[in-house]
Structure 1
Amino acid sequence: MSKTTDGGHTSITNQRQISVAAACGSFMEWFDFATYGFFAATIGQLFFPNDNPATELLLSLSAFGIALVMRPLGGVVFGIVGDRMGRRASLTGSVVLMAVSTTLIALLPTYASIGIFAPIALVVLRMLQGTSVGGEWAGAATFLVEQAPRNRRAMLGSVVPATAAVGGLGGVVVALTLTNVLVQGQMLDWGWRVPFLLATPLGLAALYIRLRLEDTPIFTEMKADGAIAQAPTREALRRNKRAIALCFFATASATVGYYYLVTSTPNVLMSEEVGMSRMAALSVTGVILAIYTAVCPLAGLISDRIGRRPTILLGAAGLIVVSIPAFQLLSSGNVVMVVLAMAVFALFEAMVNVTMVVLLIELFPARTRMTGCSLGFNLAGALLGGPAAVIVAASVSAIEFSGAGGIYTAAVAAMTLVGLYFLLPETRGRDLSGHEEIAQKKELLVSLSD
């Protein structure tokens, strides 16, 4: 039995293999990326020592943000690779870069050993991580959605944000385990390095799985017909400006909302104002990420059923409404209320994030798909997602209002809602395989046969 996609016929067994290939790299990338957020306070002590713990945390979160600033470069580099050399080549390169840079972070000497060179080296490696993430998300989405049946694209595309959350959940489990078995001195000495060392086996596993699969039928068809874009970045900027803008708006809330869940939640709960223990804060964060993972497929089903436009607009509107109240409840430290509030937030975030994954693919022609969607996706990640953790932390410190940390998320969601309301068409069911050169050749063959 087989299911038809825009690129040809993909067996159910192969569809599962494709999903695993997209999922394993997404898990590894975001496990490594989220791990930094969970150990931000410890890293701040070791690499940015200061008499003020809040300053240490802000400096550490700034290093977190610098990685997101590098995402556009990664999007351009891996987008060009994906559009010229193949989707699989892009996925392979991004996962190798993440594994190497993360492993090197685990081996870094601290400020006490080599002084100012320690934070400099950390920032450089964080920049390499950000470059990798810039290629991973769009690459995994393209590889997966290009081979999905038309009526299940969002459902299958939900694998990407869901496994990113599972990666974050894996980081929570590791952080909880280390917190439970190590004393503070051991954590500062070597315990924080353990999650980063896991990048090596995770990266090798992801690389092995991805190298065993063939490229997508859509790219294979383009290559066979000589329709590969020679300058995909220039072509995308010339022909796909509206689509890039739409990706920017769609990604804005998805990125900021996700970091709200992964980094702001544990850091606020562990702050002096809330006073929750590290173990309790990470446990609550793990529950919230598990809920988010579970609702991602539901968001995919909704998007496949009612369409991309109503789903993402509803998700953005929901984020506007719940972001500030959710942060107020988060700041209360009441575990039950925190979980309930963030569960509602997670549902709206999933509606935006899952639909965004499919829009990245459906908005662009095959020739410039990876380059174009990577530009819009990563510009939003860099300009709005990059400073999100620092802005939220600074807002909490500067504004005497318990919901201050949610203001930025609500404002970005409002921008998404307005931008997409006026510009976004319905893309559900679009043909993903069409590109101009092939269409022209087919028209020429028809005219010759007549």
Structure 2
Amino acid sequence: MSQAVPDVTSGELGAPTRQQIRTVVLAASFGNLVEWFDFTTYGLLAMIIAKHFFTVGGADGSNTPLLLAFATFGVGFLARPLGGLLIGLYGDRKGRKPALLLSITLMGASTFAVALLPDQAAIGLAAPILLVLCRLLQGVAAGGEWGGAASFLVEWAPTRKRGLLGSVHTATIFVGTLVGSLVIAALTAGLGSDTMGDWGWRIPFAIGGVLALIAIPVRLRAEETPIFRAEAAQAERSIEDVKTPDVTSGVAPSMPTTKAALTKRLAFTFCLVGMQSAAVYTFTSYFPSFVTQYTTNNGQPVGAGAALFSNALASVIVIAVVLTSGNLSDRIGRKPGMMISCFLVLVLSYPLITLASRADSLAVTVAVQCVLAASVALFLGCLPVVLVELFPARVRVAGLSTSYNVASAVFGGFAPLIAGGLVAATGFPPNASLWAVTAAVVSTVAVFFFKETRGVDLA
């Protein structure tokens, strides 16, 4: 006799226990935190990494090494669609839990390897090549993590809490960013800028590798999602009439079986994701470099420590807004928060970046980053649950991971490089915001045509 599968969509009989939900949240959240602590550490240390691995480029003060470092940051994003597809297919066939274990193992190993890499002064051209390989593995891992963790959380959630649990996924990404900022700031303060630039930069990568080892047994304790177990049971019985939410009607008709229908869904997701990818990596990963290069405080350049403090505070704001947005999406729907977010990014980005570059005030610069980060966070709180609701269980992880990561690669992966390049080419710092604004136009159109999915059955 087959084992009954709990119904987590009703929120009533057979719903998961509080202990199950706590275990699931811990497994997904802690692993997600570790993955994104590892992935974003590179962006926060880009200026130091540039000096160790990209020493070509000419005279002192040249932007070439930093731009090469940001290009390598983007390489990780190029690998994310591949990771989303491969690990996503694995997750759809073998389970969300095995996929999450695979992604955290890859991320931990590649991050720890960065901590041990000899620099260009020691081994020449092999150093940047090995760094690029590590970034590629990090990208594969991060690509599989996003869709796997989002599916894992939302598939476990009762219908009335899907938005909230989905927002936990995004919140822990920024907890990882926050922890990374605090660790790097503390190391910089404790070791001093010179020591940090010499060898201290390796410590955060080593910490990330160790945390990944801790995350593995945490994930091993979690159970597979009931929805995947039900899907696997149906597959064994050769039942193929799987249902999926239809974003054009707000109900749950039969899953589209044609490649054209699935391609349309993937394209829609690509456009939907664009703004948050460009804006997040412009206003977080690139912003510390922008602050140290183009802002002042009482006539003095803003130091790296102050820039990292601004990033940390912005991360706290994002975490709070993301959770609030996810919770509200369960009450009023997903679309309102996403539309407001797109509007704010479109309207505020350019004038606020202009203000930060001209105000000669650290307080103003910090406030600008926090406002911009909060604007994007309204969108981020709704995004995981929306993407999970868009795809049926049998292709969910691969579908949403691939489309999300392709958009992240196009719009977000090279956002720091594009932002820095726009400023370098024009000599006008406010132009750093233009890529985020361009992406916001694309996402605004997608949100406009999006039909509400709150309350539909998750199949």
Q: Same fold (TM over 0.5)?
A: yes
Describe the shift of the 1:257–1:387 C-alpha distance in structure 2 as closer, same or farther (beyond 3 A): same
Aligned to 1:87: 96
Aligned to 1:6: 9
- Return the letter of the residue paired with 1:323: S
Aligned to 1:96: 105
Contact map agreement 1:252 1:416 (CA 8 A) in 2: yes
Is it true that 1:300 corresponds to 2:326 in the alignment?
Answer: yes
Is it true that 1:338 corresponds to 2:365 in the alignment?
Answer: yes
Within-5 A mapping of 1:15-414: 15-50=21-56, 51=59, 52-226=61-235, 237-271=259-293, 274=296, 275-332=301-358, 333-414=360-441
Is it true that 1:430 corresponds to 2:456 in the alignment?
Answer: yes
Fraction of identical pairs, as percent: 38
- Return the letter of the residue paired with 1:93: L
Structure 1 residue 330 displacement after superposition: 3.0
Moved more, 155-164 or 305-314: 305-314
Contact map agreement 1:236 1:368 (CA 8 A) in 2: no
Aligned length: 427
Describe the shift of the 1:159–1:236 C-alpha distance in structure 2 as closer, same or farther (beyond 3 A): farther
Structure 1 residue 294 displacement after superposition: 1.4
Contact map agreement 1:268 1:330 (CA 8 A) in 2: no
SS of 2:15's partner is: strand
Cα separation, 2, equivalents of 1:236 and 1:346? 39
Contact map agreement 2:345 2:372 (CA 8 A) in 1: yes
Cα separation, 2, equivalents of 1:402 and 1:375? 33
Q: How far does the alpha carbon of each residue in 1:216-272 deviate from its partner, in whole angstroms, 9 at most, with x for none?
A: 000011112226999xxx978554222212221221112112112321221111115
Cα separation, 1, equivalents of 2:62 and 2:211? 32
Contact map agreement 2:81 2:140 (CA 8 A) in 1: yes
SS of 1:28's partner is: helix
Aligned to 2:243: none
Q: How far does the alpha carbon of each residue in 1:197-225 deviate from its partner, in whole angstroms, 9 at most, with x for none?
A: 01232111211111111100000111122
SS of 1:432's partner is: coil
Structure 1 residue 130 displacement after superposition: 0.6
- Stretches of structure 1 that go unaligned for 5 or more consecutive residues are 434-450
SS of 1:70's partner is: helix
Structure 1 residue 421 displacement after superposition: 1.3
Describe the shift of the 1:172–1:229 C-alpha distance in structure 2 as closer, same or farther (beyond 3 A): farther
Contact map agreement 1:237 1:372 (CA 8 A) in 2: no
